[in-house]
Amino acid sequence: MSDIDFNEKNKYTDFSGMKSSKTFSPSATIFEEKKKKKFRIFIVIVVVLIACIVASIVNIAKCNNTINVKNIIVEHEDIPASFSGYKILQISDINGKEFGDRQEELIALVKGLDYDMILLTGDYYGEDKNDPWALLDLLDGLETDKPIYYILGEEDVEARDTEDDDWMMCINPPAGNQIVTALEERGALSVYPAQRIESAAGEYIYLTGIKNNNTLKEFDFEAESEFSICVTHKPIDYNVDSRLRDVNTRIITELDYDLNIAGHTLGGQYKLPILGTVYTSDYGIFPQEKQVYGLSTDSSGRYNYICGGLGVKSGFRVGISPEISIIELKSTGK
């Protein structure tokens, strides 16, 4: 080992007089790294939330402007053989909504469908009760030779003398109703009090309301053996067997039916995966699905079908797009 000449110490760097510009602290360094990590996580969360919000807005916009066609099959032994395969196009709850210029998108969709009759089940007006053109543009654009039948919804009744239930107001609209006048000018027929539809083979099915009437007597209608469709704006949500027993004690004032076709609920309007419809004004929080949407049967085998409709009364749709329905009848034979 060589000797070191300490007299020449100026040749070596003297660190003794140097001061560190930053005091090294292991705990401070770890703290800074944690702060940076938390900030990065926060940024990621914010970006994900923004992406979810944007995706939700895009999905809601798409959900509210994409029209679905719901295909339903109803099988029943009272459907005459000549009506097996008969298709009813149900259009409901337009609520003033337009799909393209003068309904051109909706018209193009309907023109591509196979159906035998059009059934309009109410709520044609939007917020502007003086503007029926959301419905009339559709009918004028279709230029169809297929029969059109209609009823009214509560949004279509322009004057109310009492706070009576919407059922009766829709069945008996005030004289001079603008929608009624416009529909009948276009050849549409009111379902009420009743309509008999005849096939080429001379067989019949019936469109009715809830109430019994003289028209059905003229038709020689037999409720027990002939297929009848009760058309209502609001779904029938009571026990029909019990109701008929109560009101028909002395005289038949209300009718039984095989199929109820309705709208009104907008299919629930706000639907979540698994949980289903969140809320409706008629049934409250998380109603049963059969109360607001789709095809179901009661304990006596009656069918009830609720169409999701096209528009909204207010707000927007979540989880259910605007829709029209094709209801196909199938005979199972006697």
- Which residues neighbour 88 within 8 Å (Cβ) at sequence distance 6 or greater? 115, 116, 117, 118, 119, 229, 261, 326, 327, 328, 329
pLDDT digits (tens, 9 = 90+) for 231-290: 999 999 999 999 999 999 988 899 999 999 999 999 999 998 888 999 998 899 999 999
For the residues 310-323, what does the mean pLDDT come to?
92
For the residues 175-203, what does the mean pLDDT come to?
92
Q: Is the peptide bond before 132 cis (omega within 30 degrees of 0)?
A: no
* 180 φ, ψ (degrees, to nearest 5): -60, -45
Which pTM does this prediction carry?
Answer: 0.82
pLDDT digits (tens, 9 = 90+) for 247-260: 999 888 999 999 99
pLDDT of residue 161: 44
pLDDT of residue 166: 45
Each residue of 1-13: b (16+ CB within 10 Å) or e?
eeeeeeeeeeeee
Separation CA 224–CA 202 (nearest Å): 19
Separation CA 153–CA 332 (nearest Å): 33
CB 312 within 8 A of CB 267: no
pLDDT of residue 162: 42
CB 99 within 8 A of CB 67: yes
Q: At what angle do helices 133-142 and 104-111 cross, to 10 degrees?
A: 40
pLDDT of residue 5: 57
**196, 184, 172, 123: which is closest to 148 by C-alpha?**
184
> pLDDT band at 43, cuts 50/70/90?
confident
Across the chain, what does the average pLDDT equal? 86
- CA distance to 23, 271, 273, 274, 276, per residue, from 319 (Å): 59, 5, 8, 11, 9
